[in-house]
Structure 1
Amino acid sequence: MRVLLSTYGSRGDVEPLLALTAQLRARGADVRVCAPPDFSALLADAGVILVPVGPSARSLMKQVAAPSSLPERAAQVIAAQFEAITPAAADCDVLVATGMLPAAAGALSVAEKVGIPSVYVSFQKLVLPSPDHPPMAYPGRPFPPGVRDNRELWELDALSVNALFGEALNGCRVRNGLAPVGQVRDYVIGARPWLAADPVLDPWSAGSDVAVVQTGAWFQRDDRRLPADLEAFLADGAPPVYVGFGSMPMQGTENLAKVVVEAVRAQGRRAIASRGWADLALDTDDCFVLGEANHQALFPRVAAVVHHGGAGTTSTATRSGTPQVVVPQLADQPYWARRVADLGIGVAHDGPALTFESLSAALRTALAPEIRVRAAAVAATTGTDGAAVAAELLVAMVNRDGAHVPG
């Protein structure tokens, strides 16, 4: 069985595919991954064949503050999907598409073109229509302030998706011999999308009209040891606070490094700062600056995890039983911040910009003993091996030769 996994986005859109790759390989499958070139080293370290697709995701992320350019950026990404995935998918048996919705639309169209079954996967439920939750608003296209009914909001969401991505997608489809689609979002989601999220963190309601299959979050066990100098730092005092914002540039916070170290120090703690795409770097004796490390091994050993609210980081921190401070920047991150607060396992920071006062207040709450007790209790309820579930579903899909159903 030959499987093509396609994504475009941040590291949180790529790393879960490594877990699925491991499960598929254990079942004898040949797997290749289409992803942004930013993650070539990550995939090479895992021994995964990378088909680079599109421009640098990091460079596109820096343009996030310009909503007016979203259709142009999406058109670039969609065209790149057709160019890179068409030859990569030619000898494959099935395609899995995730990441940015326009990228997934392009990938699924290629699967349709080459005649192989496909499935769309989301790592959070906010792009899957349901009367039980509202959709995310796209940058520059807020919903009317008076609309509260979720069904009406989802209808407006479909119009936004068509307006932003329809012309670019259908232009590529027509040039490749495919008929245009009327509803881009419904085409991407299809008849039976998958939700690769932990049901404790992100429960799906059966009340939706969409037949969602919730596999659980995709995690690969990480057995890498922590670097020796990090081990020494951890052993040289009380558990520190981890601060890292992954693929987020953290625009809008002045003197980010200074704010972080002073707010953590005000709680009587040391800090571990992950550089990430925010280039967070601190030169102090009570702060360890981190590049790449095993979060599964690190998070259980820190006092709190301060992060941007990506799906993967939120899930890993939740599974570790460590209190969290979520500083959401965009997209689904405010949702994860709310889930952390609602579950009582941490704090949702108010807005994307940090100040000494705001981070200090959030840390005081997150470091309270009762939050740690609650975080440990919630962690004990998580842990379904979603990647194994997904791998079995893919094997069954290929065996029955199912297909992606356009909306």
Structure 2
Amino acid sequence: MRVLLSTYGSRGDVEPVAGLAVRLRELGAEVRVCAPPDEEFAELLTGVGVPLVPVGPPMGSMVRPSSAAEASRRVSELAALYDTIAAAAEGYDALLATGLAHFASRSVAEKLDIPYVYATFCSFLLPSPYHPPPLVLAGESVPPGVTDNRVLWDLNARTFNALHGEALNTHRASIGLPRVDDVRGFIFTDRPWLAADPTLGPWRQTPDLDVVHTGAWILPDERPLPAGLLAFLDAGEPPVYAGFGSMRGVSEDTARAAIEAIRAQGRRALVGRGWAGLALIDDRDDCFAVGEVNHQALFARVAAVVHHGGAGTTTTAARAGAPQVVVPQAGDQLYWAGRVADLGIGAGHDGPTPTTESLSAALRTALAPETRARASAVAAAIRTDGTTMAAKLLLDAASRRKAARWK
């Protein structure tokens, strides 16, 4: 069986796909991954022996659209990934997409007549009467006085059509595929997969959408921690880690606020440089900076994790039993901040730009003994079989389609 996994997004999109690819391969499938050509993604996939087909410009160069014209142009660019993905999918038996790969990938699967799945890592993005939709454009706001979630989701669907319909359908016409009238439905399909842990990211089923909740897709990381980092960890009490992953807009002031707040709690600080290139604020020996390292191993050795609230980072910290402070920057990170607070495993910061005072208050919650105890209890409940469930479902779908063709 041959399976193509297609993604376009940050590391939070690529790493789970790599985890699924490894599990599919263990079950006997031949797998390749279409992903952005960023160096860190190439290294990640090479490290686990999964072939990479580079698509599009590097994700590190992308910015969120702030106008309708920019959104339409972005969709045209994403739909144009079709040729590369179609070539990669030739002769394959199934296609699964995540992130922003859907515009091209679903059309590829339709053209090749192979099973197609779209997976998301956060229920926040899926239409439901139980929560409002995310904002589509930077700077967008909810219409005044509108609070009914169903009305808001209807408006969201119209926004998808207005922003993305023309660009998507222009491309589909160019490859001989029919027009799409419901762009959001086209993206998510009527049976999307939710690759989030049921404890961290639960889903309440609705009559309108048949969501398959697979659990989180975790790529086991066996890399040793660097010698310098190990020496720092061994030199004192567990530090507090502060890092913002793939967020490029995080300012130097955030690093300063984090270090000062951590010091105010009598703790040592460990700063993750991330895409923003965060740095230490002085040369005191109670702080250490790291680049891309094994978070699974690292988070098991820290007192708390201060982060942006990406699905992957939230899940990794939860699995490690590390209390969290989520400082959400955009999108689904607001959802994860709320979940961390609701579960009692940390605190959600109010807003994307912390001060020393605001972060100190959040850290006091995260570092409380009862928060550590709750984080340990939740860690024991986190499932680790998400990739197994997803891989088996995907291979079953491909097998059924093959069997139907042989009849």
TM-score tier, shorter chain, comes to over 0.9
Matching residue of 2:172: 173
1:11 to 1:130, Cα distance in 2 relative to 1, 3 A: same
2: distance between equivalents of 1:64 and 1:398? 35
Moved more, 134-143 or 119-128: 134-143
One-letter amino acid of the structure 1 residue matched with residue 42 of structure 2: S
Matching residue of 1:224: 223
1:57 aligns with 2:55: no
1:98 aligns with 2:98: yes
2: distance between equivalents of 1:58 and 1:77? 15
1:383 aligned counterpart, secondary structure: coil
2: distance between equivalents of 1:204 and 1:114? 32
2:289 aligned counterpart, secondary structure: strand
Aligned-pair CA distance for 1:364: 1.6
Matching residue of 1:122: 120
Matching residue of 1:266: 264
Q: Report if aligned partners of 1:303, 1:322 keep a CA contact under 8 Å in 2.
A: yes
Corresponding residue pairs, total: 397
Q: Report if aligned partners of 1:4, 1:34 keep a CA contact under 8 Å in 2.
A: yes
RMSD: 1.6
Matching residue of 1:405: none
Structure-to-structure mapping, 1:131-280, within 5 angstroms: 131-139=129-137, 140-251=139-250, 253=251, 255-280=253-278
CA deviation vs aligned residue, 1:125-168 (integer Å, no higher than 9, x gap):
12221212221111243221311111111111111111221111
One-letter amino acid of the structure 2 residue matched with residue 151 of structure 1: R
Aligned-pair CA distance for 1:67: 4.3
Matching residue of 2:296: 296
Aligned-pair CA distance for 1:247: 0.4
2: distance between equivalents of 1:158 and 1:258? 41
Aligned-pair CA distance for 1:287: 1.4
1: distance between equivalents of 2:71 and 2:4? 27
1:308 aligns with 2:294: no
One-letter amino acid of the structure 2 residue matched with residue 109 of structure 1: S
CA deviation vs aligned residue, 1:335-387 (integer Å, no higher than 9, x gap):
11001011111111111112222212211221111111111111111124100
Aligned-pair CA distance for 1:254: 5.0
Matching residue of 2:328: 328
1:95 aligned counterpart, secondary structure: strand
Matching residue of 1:41: 43
2: distance between equivalents of 1:201 and 1:71? 34
2: distance between equivalents of 1:135 and 1:195? 16
One-letter amino acid of the structure 2 residue matched with residue 43 of structure 1: L
One-letter amino acid of the structure 1 residue matched with residue 265 of structure 2: Q
1: distance between equivalents of 2:58 and 2:223? 27
One-letter amino acid of the structure 2 residue matched with residue 13 of structure 1: D
Aligned-pair CA distance for 1:317: 0.7
* Structure 2 runs not aligned, ≥5 long: 403-407
1:327 to 1:127, Cα distance in 2 relative to 1, 3 A: same
2: distance between equivalents of 1:122 and 1:377? 26
Runs of 4+, deviation exceeding 6 Å: none
One-letter amino acid of the structure 1 residue matched with residue 262 of structure 2: V
2: distance between equivalents of 1:384 and 1:302? 21
2: distance between equivalents of 1:267 and 1:75? 49
One-letter amino acid of the structure 1 residue matched with residue 347 of structure 2: V
Aligned-pair CA distance for 1:281: 1.5
CA deviation vs aligned residue, 1:374-401 (integer Å, no higher than 9, x gap):
1111111112410000010011101111
1:78 aligns with 2:76: no
* Structure 1 runs not aligned, ≥5 long: 403-407
2:33 aligned counterpart, secondary structure: strand
Matching residue of 2:405: none
1: distance between equivalents of 2:144 and 2:200? 28
